[in-house]
Structure 1
Amino acid sequence: MIQTLNTLSSKCSVPLSSSYVTDLNRRRKLKVGYPKYDAFLKHNNKSHVGDLVPPLVEENNDFVVEGVNTLMMNSSNSDRDEESYDEEKMNGGNDDGEEEGEKDVIDVRELGNSLQSVKTVKDVEEVLKDKGDLPLQVYSTIIRWFGKEKRVESAMVLFDWMKKRKIETNGSFAPNLFIYNCMLGVVKQCENFAEMEDILNEMAQDGISYNVATYNTLMAIYIEKAEGEKALDMFKEIDRNGLTPSPVSYSQVIQAYRRMEDGNGALSFFIEFREKYKQGEIGKDDDGENWEKEFKKLERFTVRVCYQIMRCWLVSSENKSSNVLRFLINMDNAGIQLTRAELERLVWACTREDHYIVVKELYIRIREKYDKISLSVCNHTIWLLGKAKKWWAALEVYENLLDKGPQPNNLSHELVMSHFKFLLSAGKRRGFWKWCVKLLNKMEEKGLKPGSNEWNTVLIACSKASESLAAVQIFRRMVENGVKPTIISYGALLSALEKGKLYDEAFRVWDHMLKVGVKPNVYNYTIMASIYTAQGNFSRVDTIIKEMVTSGIEITTVTYNAIISSSARNGMSSAAYEWFHRMKVQNIAPNEVTYEMLIEALANDGKPRLAYELYLRARNEGLVLALKAYDAILKSAKTHGATIDVGEVNHDRKELHRKRICCNNCVT
């Protein structure tokens, strides 16, 4: 009798009695039978989708029949189930018995272990010399185990021995279709594809036709070889040869499209399969398959493959965003939807700036179709939209977090704050003070607390736009919100007040700044020097300069330029000229701004000759002045009847104009 097997220590035995066939026929009449040889091939959960392809769901891989665990095979190959049944019928049904009490049995585990080390046909003969004639299913079981253990050499040697036995027995013992299918399975599992053609040639010579399991195995081999088109050709041959595809056949086609990254091909194939299934064309032959269950598995597998293909597109070095968007629409039209988990994993696959349109679409789909969304996915979406400079779209995602959940975390705040900072900086550079104020208001509306950097950015924008009143209001809001003003805050406010000629307010801010212990920097001192200059209070200007020296602050060209410019704007050209000489005495080199402001002030004050002398000095120092300085000299000389050599001035003016035209052409 056949003893119980398991993968650890139990034995599977095969009767050796020469009278077992006659005995079995007698027992059939008595309706008493022995366990089948294919007991160690049957699976307790017959599954097709996922055979020879990655499984859709992790399943128990132990093979159990009538409470008997198998010896070696834990493959999920459902085609083997069909083959075992067919092989049993070919071998005469339950033809493995022995008289009760007979003790001659063979340990298939021990036999497999003995054969796994064979190197030649003679080695096989040595192992099997005392075993007698064993059923082919014993050899198919061992070959399958060799495939699982990646022992292709052992399988090939055993196969060669079987071919030798065929010759010796004049064909009474020969490999059958199931043996050949097992050998193809070994080729696939061991990825030893070079042996495939030899095995197929042997089948052709023996006149053995393929069955569905053969085609399925060949399809799997071609898929592993990245020859998807050939795998699809094998599927077409199934129908041409009058065979009915199994669930495995359909799943192999989907997998072939997966390897080719042809999402539309996989989708079209499934749609065609679905229509045939609904019309009753599939499963009409009552082939024993649970097609309702297999249809659901194949549908889920198709969705999985569609997800995998889109992910491949997203991680590709090329920009395939349009492919993903079109494919999502095609899936919608086909009535096939990704799960929330798959949509979120696709969001994570979006990392390039040009993926922003995909990540936005995926985010919208998750929000519309599912009640929940991962906070990490929302944060990733905010990050990518900001990276692509789609800050307002990123802000919408943040607003959804506040309105719909999940509640934003510290990372969410940091990401949105970084976007606000960028927008504020852009507004500051361009002087869009109103835009900056609106952004600041938006931050407060959404529960984001602006820091000193954000307040200072808005203050600087107001200062650049000479919006004194707006700067004062922002400064007050800053203090009211508990944010301590910095030296930059005071500097921006002083600059705005100076531009608005609100000198008294500027003095109060200055006194408050000193009172709270904020030490002025060169920028603050320069602004105050400019304010005192505008008032004509040069004694206070001298005091500012001395304080700067005492405080160890280096006096630069910028400070003197502010004094000279303020003098020029207020019609005090003589004072501007005096501070120019003081600048030279202090060995502080004037720049283009210094000369341009002073020349323009002198020219407007009716001193074209002195302005002209300064122009010549600037030219000798290698400085290139703006056109308005030349125009001011010419206009003043003409108005006041001064005689100057305008030839040089006009020459320089034309030369500068020519250089600027050349520069513009180069840029264009």
Structure 2
Amino acid sequence: MAHVLVRSRRLSDAQSLILRMVRKSGVSRGEIVESLVSVCDNLGWNSLVFDLLIRTYVQARKLREGSEAFRVLRSKGFCVSINACNSLLGGLVKVGWVDLAWEVYGEVVKSGIDLNVYTLNIMVNALCKDQKIDNVKSFLLKMEEKGVFPDIVTSNTLINAYCREGLLDEAFEVMNSMPGKGLKPGLFTYNAIINGLCKKGKYARAKEVLDEMLCNGLSPDTATYNTLLALVHFSNMKKAGLVPDNVIYTILIDGYCRNGIMSEALKMRDEMLEQGCVMDVVTYNTILNGLCREKMLADADALFNEMVERGVFPDFYTFTTLIHGYCKDGNMNKSLNLFETMTQRNLKPDIVTYNTLIDGFCKVGEMEKAEELWVDMISRGISPSHISYGILINGFCSLGHVSEAFRLWDEMVEKGIKPSLVTCNTVIKGYCRSGNASKADEFLSKMLSKGVAPDSITYNTLINGYVREENMDKAFVLINKMEKQGLFPDVITYNVILNGFCRQDRMKEAELILRKMIEKGVNPDRYTYTSLINGHVSQDNLKEAFRFHDEMLQRGFVPDDKF
């Protein structure tokens, strides 16, 4: 029947019939293909029927089944047009089934079907999606051998992919090569480049590209101006015939907020209202985030009240933003009130909300409240992450409760959560602060056994711990160990050792450390000289103290009053 409908040019009816076949439960791809093939001997066959079958699978979003049907057709020696093949390949790439797309592409090539530029662009997009952009050049060469050459879509796909990866030089290389291939960069090309530059913070260069685009007679669209954020003034938009709307105002406000220019952000908000645009929850959240980042919490509170009065309902992001702002300011009562209001409104806090509150209470030393929130978080079915553990461990270490911190570390490891280097460094710092450098040294071995490699901060903390205990021999053992692992002592390492000698009135050794650090290419800083000056002053050796004072000035360091 499908063959008859196709011959009668009733393609819509034919596709409806095939769609019913495709959707019918209990019928395999092989059976569907067999039913279409079996009538060919009597009626003759029309390849358009098989094209419709593949296209119908794609439109019905049955891409895996479509791929199987394509293979069955090929195995029976029936051809499918390149357009139908492209439809299937494009569908697979769109949903991210790139490996399957390459399998189907391989079948298409083996079948001898002539490929076209659409095939080329689909597969270039597949490589870009799969982050295999380095393979594009070799693929294009193979396609050129088949007589298929890239077009402007190919260039735009590559430029967009390079910009997404931050490879701006490569993006410009592609754009600059376009005229030599008879291709002219279009609006999409320029928008991708401008967007890439803005993401990298190269705003001046982005403005130059915009000017080049205008000189080439291309009119910017809303996407261009959205990308440029606050760099392009509204007057330019209006001259170009674009009317700023709620979305554009909000994006421009966000541009000012991200750069901490709150006065301009609020001016833009005022202009937005004057133009008759209504502020929605996204606009309010954008400004609230900017105010909280700049610690303008009184203004944030006033804006929140205004938002409620105007009937704009605060959402999850509103409360999380304000909670984070007040936690950073140490105002835990306000943060907790907002948290309670949030839960009363049936807005469910997530792991980030809890981490923010727990961190806030840890920083003000209220560990009981932090633990209460920890229990509440788990009772809501939210499992602590390595960040959650790190926050609580840091809180206990800061108060010298190292045994409690270590209990949490063990619990985290038992649960299969790999501790981060930051968390491990926190435990080492906790042991050292409580005057137990040897325990910290044992913990170093433990973190190594868990596959966490120490960094310079790890060693500097441990070295400082031994120096504070006046165990200089152990400190030097650690420096040797550090160097063996390819971590070279920095100015902090040398300053810790040098200061340790100065505090023990071992000034000759301290000056040897100064010479050694300079020999190793590590420049002394103000702290180095302050330690040496204080060491000599404590021994009433004012002549040497003033010598180092003069050397300090010659190196451009301004002394303070700490000696």
Q: What TM-score range do you get, normalising by the shorter chain?
A: 0.3 to 0.5
TM-score by length of 2: 0.45
Larger radius of gyration: 1
TM-score, structure 1 normalization: 0.38
* Structure in which a larger fraction of residues adopt helix: 2
Larger RCO, structure (CA 8 Å, separation 6 or more): 1
